[in-house]
Amino acid sequence: MQLPRAIAIFNKYVNNHVQGLWAWLVPPWALVHHTGRSSGRALKTPVMGFKTPEGFAIPMLYGPESHWVKNLIAAGGGEIQRCGKRYQLVDPRIVPTSEITAKGIAGAYTRAGTSTLVVTLGDRV
């Protein structure tokens, strides 16, 4: 199930600013730190993410056209801040949800969309 882009736009301008204040502290929420493809600006986006056998999985409920997804792929990675710790994100790739093998809430949530961004967690920053 992919959510409408209107919700993504609302979240970008309203919810993300509020969630950005606490998302990095409360799992499964996290903050993805990425660099704008055109602007070169440092950006951060609150997401829900889970450690899975494939790596660190971030469901793309708005689809792969989200700017943070495009930014991570174009840059070949970024950083993620979760539970007060910050890690490098390496080798971002879009994986069909049918290939996700995670169980429990992580599996259910990562398979809620049509695709999931999977990254490898690198060194702690």
Per the CB < 8 A criterion, the answer to whether 36 and 97 are in contact is: no
Interior/surface letters 92-118, b for 16+ CB within 10 angstroms, e for the rest: beebebeebebeeebbebbbbbbbbbb
Reading the chain (125 residues) residue by residue, the pLDDT tens digits are 666 777 777 777 777 777 888 888 889 999 999 999 999 999 999 999 898 887 899 998 888 888 999 999 999 999 999 999 999 999 999 999 888 888 888 888 888 878 899 999 999 98
pLDDT of residue 69: 95
How far apart are alpha carbons 115 and 96 in whole angstroms?
Answer: 4
Domains within the chain, CATH numbers bracketed: 5-124 (2.30.110.10)
pTM (2 d.p.): 0.85
